[in-house]
Amino acid sequence: MFDQKRKIKERLQNSFGKVKDESFTFELIESYFKKKDKKEAFQVLSDKTCNDLDFNELFMFVDRTTSKIGQQCLYDTLKTISSNDDKLINQEKIIDKISSDPNLRLNLQLQLDKLVKDDTYYITSLFQHQHVKEPKWFFVTRLLSFTSLLSLFMLPFSPPFVFLLFAIFIVNFGIHIWNKRFLYQYLGSIPQLLILNNVAREFSKYDFFNEIDHDISASISVIDKVRNRMSFFKLENKVEGDFEIIFWAMLEFVKILFLLEPLLLFGVLKQIDTKRKEIEKVFLFVGYIDTLISIASLREGLGQFCLPEITSNNKTLEANAVYHPLIGNCVPNSILVKDKSILLTGSNMSGKTSFIRTIGINAITGLTINTCFAAQFSLPRTQIHSAIRISDDLMNDRSYYFEEVLTVKEMIDSCGNGKPNLFLLDEIFKGTNTIERISAGKAVLSFLAKDENIVFVSTHDIELADLLKDEFELYHFSEKVDDKTVDFDYKLKEGKLKNRNAIKILQINDYPDVIINEAIELSKELDQSKWQSNK
């Protein structure tokens, strides 16, 4: 036992500041988030934006929680932008205390390590889902249970009662088996709730956690009132795995004879049903503490990070040495957005889309976990929308362009929500022809960039950059091409891209000379034609 605890301590100590090496069951991790009431949120990130910004990969990088509850709470935190910063000051005080006191952190994690079984994910079902209700005939179970007890009592005085007892046992066996399908739904969640309540009680002993929930002790006490009945589920759970088969059979016989399982199950569910609020408060109390430990661990493992500044200037965003946390050896870049939006030009693989994702990811983590992957990052409280990764919807017979139109339309609709917006777009309307792409793109981007919105958009169309130069600041990424290689520096540069290297890259990759020569001649002709038309 001592050796096992020592190994757990070593594992927890060694894992602090490191990325998890385990599998992620997102269906269970996101179950709390999906059922939670989100009407008070400033924004809930859409599935489209999460897909564009590789949210699941980001979560797996950020997640350093110990318990399954902490994992569920962190997922909900990352996907939900809050309407205010009321909790941030106290949050940072707790994170500082956790970071500076390894013994405190280890003691907290040892408690949280009791909530690592997959069954813990199902605690949310106790306060988010509807419970099984008693059938109308359920009063019969109480009558049968009483009759069994009476028959057993009368048996020494009147042996024929054995026949009545046997008949009742047969009926009870049928009800017992019927009840099993309901019982199995709660064999994991209810025992884990008991453990959760014990962990919450231990955490409530620390005075500095009182700011999280001043009434947490009252919620713990309410759950304690049904502890004795719920302990039956804990016993049942252990019996199936740990006790000898003979004892299990004897206990099962007693449970059938007196219908203990259905009577206890429906009795406990009635009581739990009236304590949903308290269970959720205890769940959030423990999950929030684990989330704060996770944030401390994340920061410990980063080479550079900062706490963002949430400004009141809705048209300003500043990032110094900002980087993408999921790209190894990512080249940091800096940018100041003030009153205008940003248009990026550059060739494929030069870094345009990665930079847009970098801004989006840092906006998310800055507004949710108060952590940015940068030397300095400031932004307004803004809603985040994206149109980066778009594909055909073959099931509904919709083309790439039509899917793009629908996505951008959602952005246009968001402009009327009365809130600042951060729009992230990659190659707008690339599913259609050049003339209409540039024309529609200019009109849409001018519309999106109005009011308190900030737009980051990439394009290959230099003409689009020329049309938007009064509303957008122009930046570009470029590469260095010599006779044999193409080198990308991934550095953000001011102005629009002036050099063209697409045909040169074909030549480096040994395309036939006949193709290269024809491409060069056609390029010159098209440029000349464009110059003449502009003249």
Please indicate, yes or no, whether residues 247 and 273 belong to a single structural domain of this protein: yes
Please indicate, yes or no, whether residues 268 and 128 belong to a single structural domain of this protein: yes
Q: What is the pLDDT of residues 133-182, one digit of tens each?
A: 888 888 888 888 888 888 878 878 888 878 888 888 888 888 888 888 87
Please indicate, yes or no, whether residues 323 and 399 belong to a single structural domain of this protein: yes
- Kindly state whether residue 57 falls inside one of the protein's structural domains: no
Please indicate, yes or no, whether residues 310 and 389 belong to a single structural domain of this protein: yes
pLDDT band at 232 (very low <50, low <70, confident <90, very high): low
**Which of 289, 316, 340 is the last residue before a domain boundary?**
289
Please indicate, yes or no, whether residues 344 and 480 belong to a single structural domain of this protein: yes
The three-state (H, E, C) secondary structure of 201-236, written as one string: HHHCCCHHHCCCCCCHHHHHHHHHCCHHHHHHHHHH
Please indicate, yes or no, whether residues 422 and 379 belong to a single structural domain of this protein: yes
- Kindly state whether residue 237 falls inside one of the protein's structural domains: yes
Residue-by-residue DSSP string for 46-90: -HHHHHHTTHHHHHHHH---SSHHHHHHHHHHHHEE-S--TTHHH
Which range of 336-350, 364-378, 461-475 scores highest in mean pLDDT? It is 364-378
Average pLDDT on 103-132 reads 94
* pTM recorded for the entire structure: 0.88
Please indicate, yes or no, whether residues 258 and 318 belong to a single structural domain of this protein: no
- Which of 346, 369, 216, 383 lies closest to 291 in space, CA to CA? 369
pLDDT at 342: 95
Average pLDDT on 265-291 reads 93
What is d(CA 220, CA 330) in angstroms, rounded to the nearest whole number? 46
pLDDT at 298: 97
Residue-by-residue DSSP string for 422-468: EEEEESTTTTS-HHHHHHHHHHHHHHHTSTT-EEEEEES-HHHHHHT
- Kindly state whether residue 325 falls inside one of the protein's structural domains: yes
Total domains present in the chain: 3
- Kindly state whether residue 90 falls inside one of the protein's structural domains: no
- Kindly state whether residue 22 falls inside one of the protein's structural domains: no
Average pLDDT on 310-324 reads 93
pLDDT band at 397 (very low <50, low <70, confident <90, very high): very low
* pLDDT of 249 over the 50 cut: yes
Please indicate, yes or no, whether residues 318 and 251 belong to a single structural domain of this protein: no
Q: What is the pLDDT of residues 526-535, one digit of tens each?
A: 666 554 454 4
Average pLDDT on 457-475 reads 89
- Kindly state whether residue 97 falls inside one of the protein's structural domains: no
Please indicate, yes or no, whether residues 494 and 511 belong to a single structural domain of this protein: no
Please indicate, yes or no, whether residues 282 and 311 belong to a single structural domain of this protein: no
Q: What are phi and psi of 486, to 5 degrees?
A: -125, 120
- Kindly state whether residue 281 falls inside one of the protein's structural domains: yes
Please indicate, yes or no, whether residues 208 and 312 belong to a single structural domain of this protein: no
- Kindly state whether residue 29 falls inside one of the protein's structural domains: no
More confident residue, 400 or 286: 286
Average pLDDT on 225-230 reads 74
DSSP state of 393: B
More confident residue, 199 or 179: 199
Q: Is 530 exposed, middle or buried (0-12, 13-18, 19+ CB in 10 A)?
A: exposed
Domain that residue 280 falls in: 117-289
Average pLDDT on 422-436 reads 85
Please indicate, yes or no, whether residues 419 and 311 belong to a single structural domain of this protein: yes
pLDDT band at 243 (very low <50, low <70, confident <90, very high): very low
CB atoms within 10 A of CB 254: 9
* pLDDT of 371 over the 60 cut: yes
pLDDT band at 235 (very low <50, low <70, confident <90, very high): low
